[in-house]
Amino acid sequence: MSTFSSRCVLAIFTMAAFTAFQIFFLRNRATSIVVPGIVEQNNLQKKLPSALIIGVRKGGTRALLDGIALHPLVRIVRHETHFFDINYGKGIDWYAEQMPSVGENEVVIEKTPAYFTNLKTPARVFQMNPGMKIVLIVRHPTYRAISDYTQVFYNKLELNKALPNLEKEAFTFWNGTQVLDDTYKPIRNSLYDIHISNWLKFFPLENFLILNGDVFRGNPYSELQKLESFLGLEHQIDHSQLVFDKRKKFFCFKKTTRIRCLGESKGRKHRPVSQQVFQNISQLLAPHNERFFSLINRTFLWD
């Protein structure tokens, strides 16, 4: 072999070894999984999330995500990827492509509220990252159900479809007794005990941060501080960044000069529901709530 071609071979070998070393080094340095090959300029790289906001639907997940995005080291995925429930077949490279390019110290969070109630999601999340930090923001399950129903109602209205009536949909009869219809989504999504027990089969309670959506709505600051701590970050979100919108009656979030508020479909007035229907739903949810409290070792005042 000529000296020239052996030098070429040596050079190629050295480059390959160096790349392999780089990939190895990047993989082992980062706290969350680094996707080899997708390394971009300025030392930014695609990083899979180290935390997920999994629900609850209508619990304030969007506002929570916008709120935590105020932290200088938090980078969010703004759209719901639905990776673990719907798009899993697209593969982890597809999921990685949905992620922002971030610096080494930055934390990536994704939120898809359907994860909480999806049966396949916990095992899939565990397989990707058994140390995943899981954030659940709950609220009074009866109000949540009515809010969910309200959204379904307006979606159907827009599509000119038959409009549902909560009084008819929420209940069914079993052996002559009124029970909840747990196949009706707005009701099913409020059976927190059933959904959390699916998650607890894979993750211990320490992996969860459970936030109070009813508190968050009136005082986002305290819940955001809990989330900062849970993510291992210093408290850097300031009171002055939370701006109350008097018209919509909730907070907007101010990052630099830009204020981010929720869209028109959020904070919408609930469909009217009679006191009797409200009471019956609450009464039938009560045993589910109790079971939820014992599973998470914490109580909420949901009378």
Question: CA 64, CA 71: separation in Å to the nearest integer?
Answer: 12
Nearest to 85 by CA among 55, 50, 56, 112: 112
Beta-strand relationship, 74-76 and 171-174: unpaired
Question: CA 268, CA 62: separation in Å to the nearest integer?
Answer: 14
Residue among 10 and 205 whose Cβ is closer to ligand NAG: 205
CB of 212: closest distance to ligand NAG in angstroms?
15
163, 171, 274 from 287: Cα distances, Å: 30, 16, 22
Residue among 42 and 297 whose Cβ is closer to ligand NAG: 297
Residue among 168 and 249 whose Cβ is closer to ligand NAG: 168
DSSP secondary structure string, 111-161?
A: E-GGGTT-SSHHHHHHHH-TT-EEEEEE--HHHHHHHHHHHHHHHHHHTTP
Do the beta carbons of residue 132 and residue 50 sit within 8 Å? yes
CB of 276: closest distance to ligand NAG in angstroms?
4
Question: CA 272, CA 257: separation in Å to the nearest integer?
Answer: 38
CB of 176: closest distance to ligand NAG in angstroms?
6
Do the beta carbons of residue 47 and residue 34 sit within 8 Å? yes
CB of 164: closest distance to ligand NAG in angstroms?
15
| CB-based burial label for 74 (10 Å; 0-12, 13-18, 19+) | buried
CB of 209: closest distance to ligand NAG in angstroms?
14
Residue among 88 and 202 whose Cβ is closer to ligand NAG: 202
Residue among 177 and 240 whose Cβ is closer to ligand NAG: 177
H or E, element range at 258: strand 258-260
Return residues touching ligand NAG (CB under 6 A): 167, 171, 175-176, 178, 205, 276-277, 280, 297
CB of 174: closest distance to ligand NAG in angstroms?
8
Residue among 257 and 275 whose Cβ is closer to ligand NAG: 275
The tokens describing 242, both together, are: 């939370």
CB of 249: closest distance to ligand NAG in angstroms?
29
3-state secondary structure of 220: helix
Residue among 93 and 167 whose Cβ is closer to ligand NAG: 167
